[in-house]
Amino acid sequence: MEEQNNSGAVNPEAQPKPAAQPVPAAARPGAALWLKIIAGLYALSLIAAFVVINKADAARKTRPKDLDLSKLSGLGKSKKDAVAVIPLYGAISQGSSGHSWERGSQQIAKRITTLAAKKEVKAIVLDINSPGGTVGAVQEIYSAILKAKAETKKPFIARFGEVSASGGYYVAAACDQIVSHPGTITGSIGVIFSVSNFEGLMKKVGFRSEVIKSGKFKDIGSPSREMTLDERKLLQAMIDDSYDQFVTAVSVGRKMPVDQVKLLADGRIYTGRQAMDAKLVDKMGDLQDAIDKAGELGGIGKNPRVISDSDPFENLLSLMDSKLSLFGAKSVVEAIEIAPSLEYRWYGR
């Protein structure tokens, strides 16, 4: 309520004062000056941009016709371009499971297909350190390389480690070039089918095997008896056919006549330098040399960025898998595995 004095009149000092109105920004001291400065800087930036555009256009119109643009060829390339390295270590087999961390032929073939399809991968290096393996597994990887090359047109380089023999060389024959150490063990171009015979031992311990079969060849390769003449002929025919496939792969890959390949393909092994003299290898060098060559063939030059075919999680699982075998989980199974197999393999290792 309004205060009244003794006379009953309203005291004007006791009445509430009206709230103060905000002062417009433009009316604040110095605000107008700052707005003018910002507007001036904006105008200057527009003028500078216009001048740069005009100069660039003038330079383009007056560029010498004989300017060598090849020196600028690397300006348009993505920094992501790289060479992929896929390791192929140990004996080659299909693998006992479909685990992604295993190095069975199906996983390696899948990695080849996947990496070759990546846009940033311009070439692939197969880092081979293998004595070979089963025929089907070797040919699975070989076929994956040929398909990837046909679909992507990307170069493949094989790098040989300490051993790259038999099936290891078969895989390399699909590549565009092979780089090897001078002392690498390679060659062993051929096929083998090993059968064990425990018949004499089983007789000594009183063990006899009884077999009921649907045909005379059903237990071919049985370790409990000697091989028959007909079985030997049948297996030799398989060996000859598989050998012919190997020779053809080398002939096509190395661009050599079949007769010339057969002179080299009697199962003998070579050093890397001997293999180069025989035209089975293209260049002496190490892994970096192979990567540099892949970069050159892929159009991204020497010392390219490298994509390693490894995943930390998969590496951990692979390590655990291998350590478990020390307790007999795998070694026992492999020790009693006596089924014969057709192999592109060097048994010196």
Query: Which sequence positions are flagged as catalytic?
Result: 166, 218
Per-residue CA distances from 315 to 82, 310, 311, 331 (Å): 22, 7, 6, 20
Per-residue CA distances from 40 to 30, 36, 37, 46, 242 (Å): 16, 6, 5, 10, 83
Q: Where are the beta strands (DSSP E) in 138-244?
A: 156-165, 177-180, 185-187, 192-193
SS3 state of residue 114: helix
- Residues, the chain: 349
How far is the C-alpha of 16 from the C-alpha of 22, rounded, in Å? 19
Phi, psi dihedral angles at 171 (to 5 degrees) = -60, -45
How far is the C-alpha of 321 from the C-alpha of 312, rounded, in Å? 14
Contacts of 80 (CB under 8 A, 6+ apart): 120, 305
How far is the C-alpha of 109 from the C-alpha of 262, rounded, in Å? 28
136-160 burial, b for 16+ CB within 10 Å, e for fewer? ebbbbbbebbeebbeebebbbbbbb
Per-residue CA distances from 158 to 108, 171, 184 (Å): 14, 9, 13
Report the run of H or E that residue 85 belongs to, with start and end.
Answer: strand 82-89
